Amino acid sequence: MMSCSLSFLSYCILLLVLAFCDLLLEVESRALFVFGDSLVDNGNNNYLLTSARADSPPYGIDYPTHRATGRFSNGLNIPDIISEQLGMEPTLPYLAPQLTGDRLLVGANFASAGVGILNDTGIQFFNIIRIAKQLEYFEQYQRRVSGLIGAEQTEQLVNSALILITLGGNDFVNNYYLVPFSARSRQFSLPDYVVYLISEYRKILQKLYDLGGRRVLVTGTGPIGCVPAELAQRSISGECSVELQRAAALFNPQLTQMLADLNSQIGANVFIAANTFTMNMNFVSNPQAYGFVTSKIACCGQGPYNGIGLCTPLSNLCPNRDIYAFWDPFHPSERANRIIVQQILTGSSEYMNPMNLSTIMALDSRT
C-alpha cells in the first residue's frame, strides 16, 4: 500500500514538473503586448458600456469564425497579422475572461477603441480604457503573471516581448476637429496642439519603458484627412481634407524625432517608428496599383463615400472586401492591413526607423 502511495506521489510530482517546464517553454517564446485605439483593439470594448464597439455584423464577416469579435475590421487587424506572420499565437483582449493561466504568457491586448493620447479624447464614447488605464492593466498583468511563473521570469517575459502602440489619430478626429470651435482648438493653434500631444505621448512611452518595454513599435497616424468619414464631411469632389492632412504632416515627423530622442536618452533602439502615414498613402493615392478599385468609398457604410455613421447590418456592404482599401468609414480592410504589416516587417528606412521588424527579430534571436 505504501509503495503504491509513493508511486502515485512520484507521478504527481512528475506531472507538476512537466507542467512547470511547459510554462517555461511558453515564456521562452516571445510575447506580444498591444496598446492603443480601434486600429488595434481586438475586443476589449465588448466588455464595456460604450458606443465604440464592433461586436455586431457585418464586422468580422471575413474573420475565421465569420463572427464579429470587437475588431474594427472585416477580418484580421494589424496585431493579428503580425502574430500570424511571426508564427505567434494571437493575443486575447485583456478583459476577456479566457485570459488566464498559460494563455497569459502569450501576451495581452490592452487597446480600446476611441482612446487617444489625451484623457479628454473620445469622451463622447463614455466608458473606454484610456491609455493611463491601459498601462495600469499592464502593471496588473505583470502581478498576475508573477504569481504564475515568478517575478524574475515575468521580468524576462516583458523585457523580451514585442510591444505595439497606436495612438494619435483620435486626438485629431475625435477631439481637436470633432466639432467646430472645439475646446482644444480654442485652447491651441494646430502647431501648438501637436507639440502638446508629442510631449504627452513622450510621458506615456517613458512609462511603458519604466514598466519593462524594450522593443516598442510606435505607429504614426495614417492619412486621417483621406478616410471615407472625412471625405463625407469635408470633401466636395473626393479630395482629402487639407486641414486634417496638415495635422498628420505636423504630427508624424515630430513623433519620429521624439522617438529618436528617447532612444538617445536611453542609449538603445527601444522605440521603432512605423511610418504608417506613407504606408497608407501609397494605396490611398494609387489604389489600382495595389489591387483596390477604390480608396475613397468604404466597403461598409452609408451616405457619401459610405462614410456617414457606423457600419451596421443595415449599411451598404460590398461583396468583395479585398478590392476596397477601407472596410468602414475609418478603418482599413484586412487586405489593406496586410499591406501595412508587410512594410512593418520588411520596409526600408522610409517606412521603418531605425529598422524594420524582420531586422529586429533577427538581431534579438542572437542575444
**pLDDT tens digits along 203-233:** 999 999 999 999 999 999 999 999 999 999 9
Q: What is the pLDDT of residues 26-39, one digit of tens each?
A: 344 899 999 999 99
290 burial level (CB within 10 Å; 0-12, 13-18, 19+): middle
Q: What is the DSSP letter of 166?
A: E
Percentage of residues of the chain with pLDDT beyond 70? 92
What is the per-residue pLDDT for 284? 97
Pairing of strands 162-166, 32-36: parallel
Is pLDDT above 50 for 246?
yes
Q: Mean pLDDT across the chain, nearest whole number?
A: 93
Mean pLDDT, rounded, for 186-197: 98
Determine the distance from the C-alpha atom of residue 50 to the mean position of all C-alpha atoms in its chain, rounded to a whole number.
19
CA 210 – CA 214 distance, rounded (Å): 9
CA 196 – CA 295 distance, rounded (Å): 31
Grid coordinates of 179: 466639432
Contact of 274 with 219, CB cutoff 8 Å? yes
Residue 296: other Cβ atoms inside 10 A: 22
Q: What is the pTM of this model?
A: 0.91
Contact of 190 with 247, CB cutoff 8 Å? yes
Is pLDDT above 70 for 19?
no
Contact of 272 with 218, CB cutoff 8 Å? yes
Helices (H), the chain: 2-28, 78-86, 131-149, 151-159, 169-171, 183-187, 190-210, 228-234, 242-266, 276-285, 334-346, 357-365
What is the per-residue pLDDT for 366? 82
| Catalytic center residues | 38, 328, 331
